[in-house]
Amino acid sequence: MGQKYEGVMSGGGLKIAIVATRWNEFIVERLTDGATDALRRHGVNDSAIDIAMAPGAYEVPFVARKLAETGRYHGIVALGCVIRGATPHFDYVAGEAASGVAATSRDTGVPISFGVLTVDTIEQAIERAGTKAGNKGAEAALALLETINLCRAIEENE
């Protein structure tokens, strides 16, 4: 067997940006708390976590790109919440958030994890924002640390 690359979930020395939405703030604040708490507990300095507030999930990819293009961040956590019942254009908003974040990450080469909830009901959102289904903001933060460190492991072998 050849090389096996893995990313540790360690954030010492990393500078991280979070882009979060004002839309569904009640939910997204909890995702942001979950993400910042997970980052801190895995070694990221409080002063090394910046937060940018986007209006809604639709604007998240654009704001993430602005942050990525500064070159200041090792990675970005994208947080938001799109609720199907709340919008007739759910599919457009949720679809743009997901594909836009993926395209931004690929185009800029900056890892961006996706912690935007796409749910049918407010109850499903609450479940994923720190209650019975965990906190998807914290999960996205840890996925980001893992991806950043996986990239480093691959690069170190070059």
> 89 catalytic, yes or no?
yes
- Residue 10 has φ and ψ, to the nearest 5°, of -130, 135
- C-alpha 76/C-alpha 32 separation (Å) is 12
Q: What is the smallest separation between the CB atom of 21 and ligand INI, expressed in angstroms?
A: 5
Tally of CB atoms within 10 A around 156: 8
| Residue nearer to ligand INI on the CB measure, 13 or 55 | 55
- Residue 21 has φ and ψ, to the nearest 5°, of -100, 150
Q: What is the smallest separation between the CB atom of 77 and ligand INI, expressed in angstroms?
A: 15
| Residue nearer to ligand INI on the CB measure, 31 or 57 | 57
**Which residues share a beta bridge with 21?**
54
Position with the least CB separation from ligand INI: 56
| Residue nearer to ligand INI on the CB measure, 13 or 121 | 121
Q: What is the smallest separation between the CB atom of 104 and ligand INI, expressed in angstroms?
A: 16
Is 21 within 8 Å of 53 (Cβ atoms)?
yes
Q: Contact residues for ligand INI (CB under 6 A)?
A: 21, 23-24, 55-59, 80-83, 86-87, 93
Question: Helix axis angle, 60-69 relative to 90-108, nearest 10°?
Answer: 10
| Residue nearer to ligand INI on the CB measure, 54 or 144 | 54
Of 22, 72, 89, 106, the active-site residue reads 89
Tally of CB atoms within 10 A around 71: 8
Catalytic site positions: 89
